[in-house]
Amino acid sequence: MTIKEIVDKYGSKRENLLQILHGIQNQNPRNYINKESISALSKEMNIPVSQIKGTASFYSMFSFIPRGKYVIRVCESPPCHLLGAESIFKAIEYKLGIMIGETTKDGLFTLEGTSCLGICGVAPAMMINEDVHGNLNEEKIFQILDQIQEQEKERIQLCREEALTRF
């Protein structure tokens, strides 16, 4: 979708800016908002670039740098912290070989910390893109990540097979 199409989808009123920014970020395969998109959005909505950047940088879910296809956001707020968020980070770091703020070499995962996700009843919790996961422990983390890695392997295999049938 072009920036204009995304703006048209949500409506060009300023109050829709967050949804539009989500739309722009979600359609970028590297899960971020690039400079070109911001300047196109500025022209389309007639909002200065500095204001768009200011709004987006207020929210931790937006990024101005490329990230993985799957952004893992582990809650760091007190209830999750008390119930083991630190061990959740350690399990993910061990499994994926990345530290907080880093992206795996294959471009699949980025690990981030975040404030309360609003699901404190199932702490410790995290989000992977739009999906929330609670009552986490090391075993559950490994299951979730294994499942995503397996899906991705199957997807790549299917793409290869499709490509081969074209020849």
Binding site for ligand FES (CB under 6 A): 75, 77, 79-80, 116-117, 119-120, 123, 125
How does DSSP classify residue 144? Answer: H
Tokens of 4: 């204009």
102 touches 113 (CB < 8 A): no
Nearer to ligand FES, 7 or 123 (CB): 123
Minimum CB separation of residue 77 from ligand FES in Å reads: 4
Shortest Å, Cβ 74 to ligand FES: 9
- Give min distance, CB of 108 to ligand FES, in A: 24
Nearer to ligand FES, 107 or 134 (CB): 134
- In whole angstroms, the minimum distance from the beta carbon of 88 to ligand FES comes to 10
Helices (H), the chain: 3-10, 17-27, 35-45, 49-58, 78-82, 85-96, 138-165
Q: How far is CA 87 from CA 40, 100, 101, 124, in A?
A: 42, 13, 17, 10
User: Cβ closer to ligand FES: 91 or 125?
Assistant: 125
108 vs 120, beta carbon nearer ligand FES: 120
CB burial of residue 53 (10 Å; 0-12, 13-18, 19+): middle
Residue 28 burial (C-beta neighbours within 10 Å; 0-12, 13-18, 19+): middle
Q: How far is the CB of 78 from ligand FES (least distance, A)?
A: 6
Q: Which is nearer to ligand FES, 45 or 91 (CB)?
A: 91
